[in-house]
Structure 1
Amino acid sequence: MSSKRLLTVALIAGEASGDLLGAHLIEAVKQHYPNCRFVGIAGPLMQKAGCESLYPQEALAVRGFVEVVKRLPSILKIRNGVVSQLKQMRPDVFIGIDAPDFNLGVAEKLKAAGIPTIHYVSPSVWAWRRERVNKIVHQVNRVLCLFPMEPQLYRDAGGKADFVGHPLAQTLPLQPDQEAARRQLKLEEAEQVITIMPGSRVSEIDYMAPIFLETVPLILREYPNAQFLIPAATTATRERLVKMLESEYYKRLPIRVMSAHATLACVASDVVLVASGTATLEVALCKRPMVISYKISALTYRMVKHKIKVPHVGLPNILLGKGVVPELLQHDATPHKLAGAVIHWLNHPEQVQALQDDFTQLHQTLQLNTDELAAKAVLEEAKVVW
C-alpha cells in the first residue's frame, strides 16, 4: 500500500482507561503512517490526538448487569449506528479498545463484512468465563494483550494474540518522585496525603464515592492533618463529585477534587483508596500502597460471584500471585474497614517498603514498548508494510 494513500483506522473506547490506550495508539500509528484518519467513539484524549468521535464516549460508560439492562436500548442504538456508519466508511482496520461487551459485538459484524478487526486489551478470561476465548477468536482477527499470561489462551484456541506490555509501565518511571509531585500540587507542608479514586464512570461514583467520602472523617480522627485528593477522570465524574461535596456533611473536609492528573495524585500520596479496576495497576506502578474496594448492586453481585475463578480481584494481587494489598469488597466495603486498612499502611512504613519492591518487579515485567508493538499490529492487519 502506498504511504500516500489515506489510511482509515476505526477505534472505539468505552471509558477513560480505553481513551488513554487509544490516544497512545493513535500517536504511535501516526509516527509510522502520518496520512491517517481516525474515527469511532473517543474520549477527550483520543479526540485531542485526532480521532473523530461519532458518539459521546460517556454514553457507553455503564457497569454491572442491572445498570446495563436499564441503558440497553440506547447502547444497542449506538452499536447499530456505529456499525452501520463504519460499514459505509470501510476502514482499513477496526480496533475495539477494552469494553468487550460492546466492542466484540461491533468487531464481529465488521469482520463478517470483511473489515480486519483487533481487540485491544484481553477480557479477563483467565479470571472468569474462560469459555469466552473460543468465541473471541472468531469475532476478531487479533487480540492485543497487556499481561503475559494471556496470549497462550487465544493461541490454544486457534487465534492470534500478542503480549504488548502495559502502556502505563512504559510511560511511568520505575522510581517515582514523591517530593516533586507534592511540590507541583503545593502539598509540601502536608503530613499525610491520601488519594481517593472511586472510579472513572458516573455510575461508579454513585456507588463508591459516598463510601469513600465517609471514610475520610474516620482517618482524620487518627491523622487530623491529613489531606485528601480525588482526581476525576472525566468532566461528568468531576461534576458529580463536586455536587456530593457541597453537602453539609462533606464540605468542610480537607478534600481537593482535581481534573484528571491521577498519576500525579498517586505519586504524591502516602496511601491510595481505589476502586477495583485498571486504576489499581496505575497505583502499583506509582509504587504506592493501596486499599482496593468495590461494591455493585446485590443482584449483579449474586450473578457474577460464582463465575469468578481467581482468589483475588485486584490486578496487583492477581499479577503478583499473592495478596499484597487488601481487598474490601461488597459487604466488607464499609467506611470503618476501609479507614482501618488505610491507617494500617500509614502506621507500617516497613511494610510499604516491601510492597514497593514487589511493585518494582511487576513494573519491569510489564515494561515493553507497548505503543510501538500495538501500532505494528494495527498496521499489519491494515495490510501496511511495516
Structure 2
Amino acid sequence: MADTDSSTAIAMVAGESSGDLLASRLLSGLRPHLPQARMYGIGGARMAEYGFISDWPMEKLSVNGLFEVLAHYRELKGIQITLRDRLLADKPDVFIGVDAPDFNFGLEAQLRQAGIPTVHFIGPSIWAWRGGRIKKIARAASHMLVIFPFEEEIYRKAGIPVTYVGHPLAQVIPMVPDVAAARSALGLPADGRVVAIMPGSRMGELKHNTIAFVQAARILAQRDPGMRFIAPMAGEKQSRFFRELVSQAGLQDLPIQLLDGQSHTAMAAADAVLVASGTASLEVALYKKPMVIAYKMMRATWEILRHMSYQPWIGLPNILAREFLVPELLQHNATPQALADALWAQLEDPARQEMLRQRFTAMHHALLRDTANESAQAVLQVIEQNRRQPRRTSPA
C-alpha cells in the first residue's frame, strides 16, 4: 500500500475515554503508513491527535447499564442509523469498531454485508458472560484484534480471523512508574500518602459510585489526616457532575484535588487507588499499585447481571491472575466503611504491596507487545485483502 495513499478512508467508532486511548494507539501505528488517509467516525481527543475527525461527540455513546441504555436507545439508534447510511454511501476501505460492542457489532454486521470489511478491536468479555455473542461476532467482524493471549483460541475455534496484539496500555505505561515526577507534576508533596479516587468516566458510573468513594476517602482521612486525595476526571462535564454530587451529599469539606484528565499521572503518583471496575483497574495494575475495585449500578441492572457471570471475578487484574489479588466490592457490599477498610489494609501491609508489585510486573510483561504496529499491520492486511477481491457489480 502506498505511503501517500490519500484515497484511503478509514472509519472508526470508539465510545468512551478508554476506547479513545486504545484507538489512538492503533492510529499511531497506522498514520506512518497512511499519512494522508481520511480517518473519521466517532472518537475522542486522543484520536484527534492523529487527524481523526469525529462527526459526533464521543460522550453520546458513553452509556452503561441495561436500563440506562434503554433510556437513551432512540438517540443511540438514530446515531447508528445515520452513521450507517453515511458509511454505506461512502464505502470506506475498512470500518474499525473499538470496544462499544452493543453499538458497533450491529453496525459492523450491516457494513460487512454490504462488502465493507470490518475489524473489531478488543473482543467483548464473552469469556466472562454472554458467551452466545460469539455467533453475532462471527457475522459482524471480518477480523478480531484481541488484547489478552487466552482470547485467540476462543475466536479461532469459532472460525473468526483473529490477531493477538497485546494490550496497548502495556506499551504506553512504563514498567517502573516515576512516582516523584508524577507528584511534582500534580503539585503533591514527595512524602505522605496519596490516594486516587476513580469512580468511572461515564456519567452513570459517577452517579452510582461517587458518594461511596468520597465517603470512604473521608474515613481514610480521619485515620491519616495527612493523606491527600486526587480524582482524575474524563472531562469538564464529569468534573462538574462530580462536584455537584459531592456538594449535594454534604461532603465538600473533604479536600479532593480534581484533575482534568491526567489519570495516568494520578495512578503513578498514588500509593493506592479506589477504582471502578473496567479498563482503569488494569491500568492501575500496570502502574503496580494496590487497589480496591468497586462498582455500583441500578438495582434492576444488578439483579440481571449478577446471575449472568461465568466466573467469580469482575476486575481485569483478578481475571488475568485467576484469583482475588485485590479486593472486589460490588453493589451493596461497596459501603464506604468496607471500601475504606479494604484500602487501609493494603496501605498498612508493605509485604502485600511488594507481592502486588511483583505479580503486576509479571502481568505487564505478559501483555507487552508492539501493539500499535501489530494492530496496524493487521488492519492494513484486511484492507489489502479486500482490494484484491473482485469488485461487486450492480445488476443490469
Q: TM-score normalized by structure 1?
A: 0.97
Worse-matched range after superposition: 108-117 or 228-237 = 228-237
* CA distance in structure 2 between the partners assigned to 1:338 and 1:44 by the alignment: 32
Q: Which amino acid aligns with 2:282?
A: L
8 Å Cα contact 1:190-1:226 kept in structure 2:
no
8 Å Cα contact 1:137-1:160 kept in structure 2:
no
* CA distance in structure 2 between the partners assigned to 1:298 and 1:244 by the alignment: 19
1:254 corresponds to: 255
* CA distance in structure 1 between the partners assigned to 2:259 and 2:35 by the alignment: 34
* CA distance in structure 2 between the partners assigned to 1:3 and 1:29 by the alignment: 10
2:137 corresponds to: 136
In the TM superposition, what is the alpha-carbon distance from 1:178 to its structure 2 partner?
A: 1.3
2:52 corresponds to: 51
In the TM superposition, what is the alpha-carbon distance from 1:252 to its structure 2 partner?
A: 2.1
Q: Which amino acid aligns with 1:199?
A: G
2:394 corresponds to: none
In the TM superposition, what is the alpha-carbon distance from 1:238 to its structure 2 partner?
A: 1.6
Give the secondary structure class of the aligned counterpart of 1:125. coil
2:32 corresponds to: 31
In the TM superposition, what is the alpha-carbon distance from 1:4 to its structure 2 partner?
A: 4.0
* CA distance in structure 1 between the partners assigned to 2:379 and 2:34 by the alignment: 11
8 Å Cα contact 2:4-2:34 kept in structure 1:
no
2:150 corresponds to: 149
8 Å Cα contact 1:241-1:257 kept in structure 2:
no
Indicate whether 1:341 and 2:357 are aligned: no
In the TM superposition, what is the alpha-carbon distance from 1:235 to its structure 2 partner?
A: 2.5
Deviation readout 1:121-163 (Å, 9 max, x if unpaired): 0000111111211220121101100100101111101111111
Give the secondary structure class of the aligned counterpart of 1:368. coil
8 Å Cα contact 2:15-2:42 kept in structure 1:
yes
8 Å Cα contact 1:41-1:56 kept in structure 2:
yes
* CA distance in structure 2 between the partners assigned to 1:93 and 1:203 by the alignment: 32
* CA distance in structure 1 between the partners assigned to 2:182 and 2:228 by the alignment: 14
In the TM superposition, what is the alpha-carbon distance from 1:190 to its structure 2 partner?
A: 4.8
* CA distance in structure 2 between the partners assigned to 1:46 and 1:177 by the alignment: 26
1:238 corresponds to: 239
In the TM superposition, what is the alpha-carbon distance from 1:251 to its structure 2 partner?
A: 2.1
Indicate whether 1:331 and 2:329 are aligned: no
Give the secondary structure class of the aligned counterpart of 1:188. coil
2:358 corresponds to: 357
Q: TM-score normalized by structure 2?
A: 0.94
CA RMSD of aligned residues (A): 1.4
Indicate whether 1:286 and 2:287 are aligned: yes
Aligned counterparts, 1:1-386, within 5 A:
1-5=1-5, 6-247=7-248, 249-383=250-384
* CA distance in structure 2 between the partners assigned to 1:140 and 1:184 by the alignment: 42
Give the secondary structure class of the aligned counterpart of 1:106. helix
* CA distance in structure 1 between the partners assigned to 2:4 and 2:234 by the alignment: 37
In the TM superposition, what is the alpha-carbon distance from 1:248 to its structure 2 partner?
A: 7.6
In the TM superposition, what is the alpha-carbon distance from 1:62 to its structure 2 partner?
A: 0.5
In the TM superposition, what is the alpha-carbon distance from 1:247 to its structure 2 partner?
A: 4.8
8 Å Cα contact 1:110-1:116 kept in structure 2:
yes
How many residues are paired up? Answer: 385
* CA distance in structure 2 between the partners assigned to 1:291 and 1:217 by the alignment: 16
Deviation readout 1:33-53 (Å, 9 max, x if unpaired): 212110100112112321111
In the TM superposition, what is the alpha-carbon distance from 1:297 to its structure 2 partner?
A: 1.1
8 Å Cα contact 1:194-1:228 kept in structure 2:
yes
User: Following superposition, which runs of at least 4 residues in structure 1 exceed 6 angstroms of deviation?
Assistant: none
Q: Which amino acid aligns with 1:294?
A: Y
In the TM superposition, what is the alpha-carbon distance from 1:254 to its structure 2 partner?
A: 2.0
Give the secondary structure class of the aligned counterpart of 2:56. coil
In the TM superposition, what is the alpha-carbon distance from 1:188 to its structure 2 partner?
A: 2.0
In the TM superposition, what is the alpha-carbon distance from 1:234 to its structure 2 partner?
A: 2.2
